[in-house]
Amino acid sequence: MLGLTMAIGCAPEGNRLEFTTFGRDNTSRQFYGEYTEAYYRQLANGTLELLLQAEAPSSLDPKQNITQLIYLKTYWRPRPGRTAAEASQINAHVQYAMLTPPTGVRYDGSAFLLANRDRNSGELVGRIESGTLIPRYRMGSAIEPFASAKFIGGFRATENPRKVLQGLHMLQNEFKERIGPP
């Protein structure tokens, strides 16, 4: 399933994440995820929420689509020149899912997210650094395609709170079966 989900076509420049996945046998693989949709919302307290999404037909069953969602929520924002900021820090919670309904796997983790709003376009332009993921939930009989992952990459997101909340709703409500210890 993993190889299939990463061949998701072209996306707007900057919506590309590089993953290094690790198997249970400590083997690693690298691949890129291209995201055709990128949305953000900013809360009154400064918290940023980012949603990247991609959908493509499965190569195993072209009648079925594979959807990838990655949601990040910051809990503090670095201010270059005012606060220390480096890639090894963590400032965001991450949820990443691969879905081929009625099955799917959700990974949870953390990352360091740097972003600024482009004054001309209003887009949020940024970079995700030092991201880590481990499997936490599944739906249906899905099998985790990897044991853990690291990721980095850039994005350009448009403001759309509704789309961000729809993605978050899917991630939190569709995945009920816990994987591994709490």
Q: How far apart are CA 72 and CA 52, in angstroms?
A: 9
Cα–Cα distances in angstroms (integers) from residue 74 to residues 20, 38, 78, 151, in the given order: 22, 16, 10, 16
Domain ranges across the chain: 2-177
Cα atoms in the Cβ-side hemisphere of radius 13 Å centred on 125: 10
Asked if 156 and 123 count as a contact pair (C-beta separation under 8 A), the reply is yes
What pLDDT score does 76 carry? Answer: 78
The pLDDT of residue 81 is 62
Q: What is the pLDDT of residue 26?
A: 85
Output the six-digit token pair for 60.
């195993």
Q: Give the Cα separation of 5 and 99 in Å (integer).
A: 9
As averages over each run of 10 residues, the pLDDT of the chain (182 residues) reads 39 78 93 94 94 88 88 81 63 94 94 92 92 95 92 96 97 90 64
The fold of 2-177 is: Lipocalin (2.40.128)
Q: pTM for this structure?
A: 0.86
